[in-house]
Amino acid sequence: MKKFLLIASILLSLFVFCFSESAVPFPNHTEYTAGCIRPSLWTQEELDNHVREYYDMWKERYLTDVPNSEKSMKFVNFAFLDYDWLDQTVATVSEAHGYGMMILASMAGYDEKAKEDFDAMYNYFKSYPSVIDSRLMSWKQLKVKDAEGNLTGVKDVEDNDSVTDGDLDIAYALLMADKQWGSDGEIGYKQEALNILDGILDSEVHPEYGYLLLGDWSLFKNEKLDGSRASDYFINHMTFFSEIDEENSARWEKVRETTINICTEIYRNYSENCGLLPDFIVRTEDGKYIPAEGEYLETEHDGDHNWNSCRVPWRIPLDYIVSGNSELLEQVQAMNSWIKEEAGMEPLKINPGYYILNGPAGTPIIRDWEGTDMSFVSPFAVAAMVGAENQGWLDNLWISIISDNWDTGTPFEESAYFPNTIRMLVMIIVSGNWWPLN
């Protein structure tokens, strides 16, 4: 009897271990909404291999250990390349941290160290809380180096408050971890996610109107309280948050509904021809939502489709692709029709930015440099997935996404963290490997 119980215990332990390692192992080939497409010139195995190969490069370059830390801590290296325009003092930002955690949770099953590295990223997140709401993450940390230039540690910035997108993604990643590995181990992933969601609702959502704020600083410092960032409009996150965060389901439904209404209002009034959203949106005193005028927070293009909202063609369609919610499908279809004509079906002709407020909507922002950037190119591949009429366009986009030369794409080695990491997340989705939380 004791021998039987021992064997049963071992088998149960092996089952639990295997389940906790990869309940949704990569590749998983999620069944997306009927009618959604994937690249057609490659087999599923080839698409999966594209993701594996790119992930190996991405992780080797960007996932970085914090030296001399008591617990294992890792972060996504923001300033890996020694470019003049890239602030070399920056270690990472919360936006990058959320990206990294979602990527690791997605690649479990292929990467046997995914959980270990995810937990190290969680340890980092817990070590750098916002000074305003400690449930949220400080928005940026800096590198500490010795006289020879070697990384010896990481320190927080002085204004260590939060920004909303990083917190949304970190909460989502923790819910992914709960589904992937369960919450019975050292880290209670689901409860940690719920704590962050409480912090977001309390500190990063307008208490009266229900739209996403720029960060906890906006509410508690009463600064830019009328503002919202379109690249934070993670509709599918909100769909699942309203299901999983049962105590706050109605509040998440309000945030989701408000976000969709803002997208629709901007689309109808400012970008009906192209479906794009501006970097920043403000609520006027009479309750209208308009593109931000002037240098609202960052640049003179805050009211245009620029370096923040370049992610909108990825974030907005995902809710339809994964959950079948079609409230913004018309806008996404308009986006697809416009960009195919604008770029002439050639991804490298996608301009790095388009006017919405400061010029005719959908006309290219004039830059002082030539070329494009994967931050603007790859998100359109997610938008293209919503209908078979985009098949040739999606195939062209995938060619550019996986290309490692300037003739057809942008080389990984010469691209910065931002475009390469967006490209990584887009590849997981477009290859059919982004799974729902329910």
Peptide linkage before 27 cis (omega within 30 of 0): yes
- 309 touches 298 (CB < 8 A): no
Rg (CA), the chain: 21
Strand blocks (E) in 243-328: 280-283, 289-291
**Close Cβ partners of 393 (under 8 Å, ≥ 6 residues apart):** 336, 340, 345, 384
Q: Residues 102, 63, 422, 302: is their CA dihedral positive or negative?
A: positive
Between 235-244 and 164-181, two packed helices, what is the crossing angle to 10 degrees? Answer: 50
Choose among 249, 245, 218: nearest CA to 232: 218
**Catalytic residue selected from 165, 216, 279, 302:** 165
330 among known catalytic residues: no
Encoding tokens for residue 161? 């408050």
Query: Which single residue is written with the structure tokens 């071992």?
Result: 10
246 among known catalytic residues: no
Q: For residue 411, which amino acid is it?
A: P
d(CA 221, CA 105) in angstroms, rounded, equals: 34
For 189, list phi and psi in degrees, rounded to 5.
-55, -45
Tell me which DSSP letter residue 163 carries. Answer: -
Helix (H) or strand (E) holding 414, with range, is none
Query: Which single residue is written with the structure tokens 């064997």?
Result: 7
Burial state string for 264-296 with b = 16 or more CB within 10 A and e = fewer than 16: eebbeebbeebbbbbbbbbbeeeeebbbbeeeb
**Catalytic residue selected from 48, 95, 167, 395:** 95
Encoding tokens for residue 273? 């021809």
Encoding tokens for residue 59? 């992780």
What residues act catalytically? Answer: 95, 165
